[in-house]
Amino acid sequence: MNEYKYISIVINKFDLPLEIKLATPDSDLIDQKKIDEAIKQISEKVTEYEQIFSLENNNSLLARFQNGDESGLMTSPEFREVYEQTITAEQMTHHYFSSYFNSQYDPIGLLNGWIIDKIFNKYLLSMLSNNGIDGVSLRSGEDVRLASRPNIDFRWRVAVKDPQNLDILLATYFLQNGAISTSNKRRGLRNEKSNIEQVTIVSSNALDANIWSSAGISAGTNKFPEFVSKYHLTGMIVDSSSGMMNFRDGYSDKIAVQR
């Protein structure tokens, strides 16, 4: 079995930094010029997204949209795509996922997953064809997308911590490919009474993982299992009263949380 070294590269994004990780059995095999060029392109793409979605920029399409200027829906394919994704997500989750915050359109949560997927698919997946790179990952906050070179036995390790005590490890996922999102803050327009503390979702992409982890927190321990079953979700729920519920492809079991 190979021993891996992990190369970390951080790109500042307008709300949370993006962290790229490359898993390599031998860093001397890596063509650094190709990596540098990819990072340059990613940085330029992040700057483009910043001009569209940053609320710190009063002239961004999102800031203007919040002030009543909806022209971004006509002029920007990216803005329109995110807007349409938020509508779909709200309908699919019965509005337990919401793109509104403080009564304004603010898709920052969904946007995190969307940006990860866009950059990952366009720039990072192709790195697996380079010598010396067996795995790539892209993280922003509690959302991460992962992939490994085909036909090798390499898996990314993703830890899920207790939301009340980060020194306690609740679960570890070992993935060759996929995405994981963990949420512990309610932002939905609908919030059920519940002792739910945290939701983790494993999916094929960061966008879906983010949507469902956010919806799960708002739907609560009693309601969210209905979505788990209907949409064949995989992940875990942490509830202060009922403990920990693991679910895979829609089927679940409960485990007490020791604190």
What is the DSSP annotation of the chain?
A: ----EEEEEEE--SSS-EEEEEEES-GGGS-HHHHHHHHHHHHHHHHHHHHHH-SSSTTSHHHHHHTT--THHHH-HHHHHHHHHHHHHHHHTTTSS-SEETTEE--HHHHHHHHHHHHIIIIIGGGGGSTT--EEEEEETTEEEEEE-TTS---EEEEEEETTEEEEEEEEEEESSEEEEEE-S---S------EEEEEEEESSHHHHHHHHHHHHHHHHHHHHHHHHHTT-EEEEEETTTEEEEEETTEEEEEPPP-
pLDDT of residue 188: 61
* Choice among 10-19, 52-61, 120-129, 150-159 with the minimum mean pLDDT: 10-19
Instruction: Tell me the pLDDT tens digit for each residue of 74-109.
Output: 999 999 999 999 999 999 999 999 998 778 899 988
CB 242 within 8 A of CB 257: no
What are the residues facing 70 on neighbouring strands?
A: none
Instruction: Tell me the pLDDT tens digit for each residue of 19-47.
Output: 999 999 999 999 999 999 999 999 999 99
pLDDT of residue 1: 62
| 33 vs 36: CA distance, rounded Å | 5
pTM of the model: 0.93
pLDDT of residue 252: 85
Average pLDDT over residues 143-171: 94
Average pLDDT over residues 207-215: 97
Domains along the chain with CATH numbers: 5-255 (3.10.520.10)
pLDDT at 202 > cutoff 70 = yes
Task: Find, among 119, 154, 155, the residue nearest to 138 by Cα.
Answer: 119
CB 244 within 8 A of CB 236: yes
Angle at which helices 77-92 and 206-230 cross, to 10°: 20
